[in-house]
Structure 1
Amino acid sequence: MSNQRYGAGIWHFATYVDRYATDGYGAPRSLIEMIDLAGEVGDLSVVDINYPFPGGETSLEAIGTALERNKLSVIGITPEIYTRQFAKGAFTNPDAGVRRLANEMCNDAANIVRHFGADYVKLWPGQDGWDYPFQVDHRKLWQMSVEGIAELATQNPDLKFVIEYKPREPRNHMSYDSVARTLLGIEKMGVPNVGILLDFGHSLYGGESPADAAQLAIDHGRLFGMDVNDNLRGWDDDMIAGSVHPIELFEFFYTLRKNNWEGVWQLDQFPFREDSVEAAKSAIGFLKAIERALDKLDFEAMQAAQDRQDAVGALKLAREALFSSY
């Protein structure tokens, strides 16, 4: 019997708009409705919740009741430091007052993390970066990126903060765009409670090997969390995990298992046109197959093949384990 826990960003159960279907792909949902849908999946034990809470005002008590009703708990709170008021940046905004608003929103999120006994505040500073050559002073922008998060971590030494890096979108180039740059920023902060949340799709989209990125973050002691999804590598499509890159997803989880990394396997998917509950079940079904494949994989033989840099032999081991486990 597996003890692996599965989670999802609560936005997986929202409805979405894009720049074409501006009327949305469904009727808006309240946070409580999203939590109830998450409960229908059956295998989820935790959710990551946006703040301010989506779908209109609701109380912590109402959220707690909905979570209890669905046998769910909160893994993280994601402050929305990427909306219109932060269009020129959150931690890197040229307006000191807006930077202060970002800090206050993140501190409010930190208090909600404490309320629910969650694991971390997740920081996705999507508007921190630039769009054009000569638009910013790169030294100053990076300094603000680092100092803004370091300030938060120092204000809340009892909590963990995780940075979810991404190459671009909504900015044409985001400040925290890769595992290496994010690790450099964390090192410069000099605080123990900031780490990385590695999004498998962001790593693919950024031209990384997610397995290599995970190993680098682990080697620096900074892999605090992870999200899985999939894409066609040209954009952050947030498709069902394992639908396009099953072998690379297997290698990613092989790397986690090899390093004895333990944590929630979390979905960050955007099922625009698909049934959200069925999309979650589909992804988790494949993740369970990966669990079974890891249990049957000959790790010693894999290590020997890798020591020889034997691509054919290593892939044979991986394929046999994975494709016989679904």
Structure 2
Amino acid sequence: MTQRIDKAFIAEENAKLAGFLKEDYEALGNQLARDDINIEDITAKAEQFQIAVPSWGTGTGGTRFARFPGEGEPRNIWEKLEDSAVINDLSQCTERVSPHFPWDKVDDFTELKQTSDSLNLKWDSINSNTFQDQPGQAHSFKYGSLSNTRAESRDLAIQHNLDCIEWGKALGSKTLTVWVGDGSNHPGQQHFQSAFERYLDSMKQIYAGLPSDWELHIEHKMFEPAFYSTIIQDWGSNILAAMELGPQAKSLVDLGHHAPNVNIEMIVSRLIQFKKLGGFHFNDSKYGDDDLDSGSLHPYQQFLIFNELVDAQYRNQEGFGPNYMLDQSHNVTDPIESLMNSAASVQRSYVAALIVDRKKLSGYQQDNDALMASNTLKKAFTTDVSPILEMARFNRGGAIDPIAVYRASGYRAQAGRERPNSGGNGSGIV
């Protein structure tokens, strides 16, 4: 087992920055106080914020053309948990891990749960995989899974999702996320309505297997691997399916799964309004489903999404309580560093949204004062809330500067020695 970063070492590194943090925190506190904002209240909320790490995100990603293995990348779920524990030890906002089955399937789920408990980690949404065939699979998903024209393939996909529920129950999860790559690549290849009907029929059988305190999250994606049509192509098809299934079915929003220039924050508002927002996969994109680090290209859009989320929280919106998770592919960076960076980026958007003056914003909206309404949002967005994030980590025993502490610890080099590169990919994904 790769040795975790010692808490004493984190404390030593923090001691070098604690004086500067105190100065910056007091300065920001004075700045916020001018607008009657108590920095301690905001920091307390920042400390409570949590976003799940995807198990597959701890490994090196790849493209359709090549994959360049990273040093010491995890080869199985046990090593993914080791890396996830380090991420949480330093960031203190990633205490949950989202597994993907069958990539993360083990023989003894009791042992897996005991291991996660020992690392102070919890389990988030269970992700099923029917978008690729597994070794020895009897019936192929090449032409779809839950919507396949062949009942044998559909039955196999349904059973896999029911199995995921059972595995999730053993781990203490309460959510199943279903994404399928079903669709078509040629006009005329598929009868749209019949395919959707088959999908809904399959999902109803999965929905019937949900415990009463679980949710089923439906994930949509505009394209890939089906490039002409996709069964759950957009939020419209997503919410229609969720409404057809029942109150435990909700829509999941992946930021990279939309058409270019779509107003994602308005979609979020609509889903909140109709109590159908299940959760998020946070990432960023330039062209499509790029799975780039969160906030690396469009931090203002990410902030605007959180403006809607915090607004719902502010108004005590009924049925509001989405899951937050990162979903990224790290091809040229250390996955641990990227996941810590992204977690902080998402947390930053949340904190910035907390300091929006909602009474003023509402007044400007009522008066149709477009400029001042926009400026109210921009004021919060452009405020550097870094001291709040740093203090939140410090208060919880994390690192003031997670990436600096991680690099100084030598954890990656140690992992490289203990996890020889086999040329394979323990993350499961290409």
Shared fold per TM-score greater than 0.5: yes
Q: 2:97 aligns with which of 47, 50, 56?
A: 47
Deviation (angstroms), 1:57: 4.7
The alignment's C-alpha RMSD in Å is 2.0
Tell me, yes or no, if the aligned pair for 1:157 and 1:193 is still in contact at 8 Å: no
In structure 1, how many angstroms separate the alpha carbons of the residues matched to 2:238 and 2:96?
26
The gaps in structure 2 that reach 5 residues or longer are: 1-43, 134-139, 314-319, 387-430
Q: 1:37 aligns with which of 60, 73, 83?
A: 83
Q: 1:278 aligns with which of 334, 337, 344?
A: 337
Question: Rg larger in 1 or in 2?
Answer: 2
Deviation (angstroms), 1:303: 2.3
Q: Which residue of 1 aligns with 2:115?
A: 66
In structure 1, how many angstroms separate the alpha carbons of the residues matched to 2:119 and 2:368?
47
Q: Deviations over 1:137-193 (max 9, x none)?
A: 11101111211112211233523211011101111132111111211222233x222
In structure 1, how many angstroms separate the alpha carbons of the residues matched to 2:193 and 2:261?
25
Q: Which residue of 1 aligns with 2:305?
A: 252
Q: 2:206 aligns with which of 143, 152, 155?
A: 152
In structure 2, how many angstroms separate the alpha carbons of the residues matched to 1:31 and 1:309?
53
Tell me, yes or no, if the aligned pair for 1:229 and 1:268 is still in contact at 8 Å: yes
In structure 2, how many angstroms separate the alpha carbons of the residues matched to 1:200 and 1:306?
26
Count of aligned pairs = 321
Question: Against the structure 1 CA distance between its residues 308 and 181, is the aligned structure 2 distance closer, same or farther, given a 3 Å change threshold?
Answer: farther
Q: 1:9 aligns with which of 54, 71, 80?
A: 54
Question: Against the structure 1 CA distance between its residues 40 and 182, is the aligned structure 2 distance closer, same or farther, given a 3 Å change threshold?
Answer: same
In structure 2, how many angstroms separate the alpha carbons of the residues matched to 1:34 and 1:8?
10
In structure 1, how many angstroms separate the alpha carbons of the residues matched to 2:328 and 2:222?
18
Q: Deviations over 1:223-246 (max 9, x none)?
A: 1221211111x2111111111111
Q: Which residue of 1 aligns with 2:131?
A: 82
Deviation (angstroms), 1:269: 1.4
Q: 2:65 aligns with which of 2, 11, 20?
A: 20
In structure 2, how many angstroms separate the alpha carbons of the residues matched to 1:160 and 1:301?
36
The worse-fitting range, judged by mean Cα deviation, of 219-228 and 250-259 is 219-228
Q: Which residue of 2 aligns with 1:169?
A: 224
Deviation (angstroms), 1:130: 1.2
Q: Does 1:117 align with 2:176?
A: no
Q: Which residue of 1 aligns with 2:285?
A: 231
The worse-fitting range, judged by mean Cα deviation, of 41-50 and 307-316 is 307-316
In structure 2, how many angstroms separate the alpha carbons of the residues matched to 1:25 and 1:231?
22
Q: Deviations over 1:230-282 (max 9, x none)?
A: 111x2111111111111111110110111124344321111122111111111
Q: 2:355 aligns with which of 296, 302, 307?
A: 296
Question: Against the structure 1 CA distance between its residues 135 and 188, is the aligned structure 2 distance closer, same or farther, given a 3 Å change threshold?
Answer: same
Q: Deviations over 1:65-96 (max 9, x none)?
A: 33123211111111111113312111111111
The gaps in structure 1 that reach 5 residues or longer are: none
Look up the equivalent residue of 2:340 and give its one-letter code: K
Look up the equivalent residue of 2:66 and give its one-letter code: A
Deviation (angstroms), 1:49: 0.3
In structure 1, how many angstroms separate the alpha carbons of the residues matched to 2:280 and 2:197?
26
Bigger relative contact order (CA 8 A; separation at least 6) = 2
The worse-fitting range, judged by mean Cα deviation, of 283-292 and 3-12 is 283-292
Q: Which residue of 1 aligns with 2:372?
A: 313
Q: Which residue of 1 aligns with 2:409?
A: none
Look up the equivalent residue of 1:259 and give its one-letter code: A
Q: Which residue of 2 aligns with 1:138?
A: 192
Question: Against the structure 1 CA distance between its residues 119 and 36, is the aligned structure 2 distance closer, same or farther, given a 3 Å change threshold?
Answer: same
Tell me, yes or no, if the aligned pair for 1:15 and 1:24 is still in contact at 8 Å: yes
Look up the equivalent residue of 1:241 and give its one-letter code: S
In structure 1, how many angstroms separate the alpha carbons of the residues matched to 2:253 and 2:198?
22
In structure 1, how many angstroms separate the alpha carbons of the residues matched to 2:175 and 2:232?
18
DSSP-derived class of the 2:341 partner: helix
DSSP-derived class of the 1:104 partner: helix
Q: 1:105 aligns with which of 157, 160, 181?
A: 160
Deviation (angstroms), 1:103: 0.6
Q: Deviations over 1:186-218 (max 9, x none)?
A: 2233x2221111112223x45421211111111
In structure 2, how many angstroms separate the alpha carbons of the residues matched to 1:10 and 1:108?
18
DSSP-derived class of the 2:256 partner: helix
Identity %: 20
The worse-fitting range, judged by mean Cα deviation, of 20-29 and 96-105 is 20-29
Q: TM-score, normalised by structure 2?
A: 0.70
Q: Which residue of 2 aligns with 1:216?
A: 270
DSSP-derived class of the 2:339 partner: helix
Deviation (angstroms), 1:13: 0.5
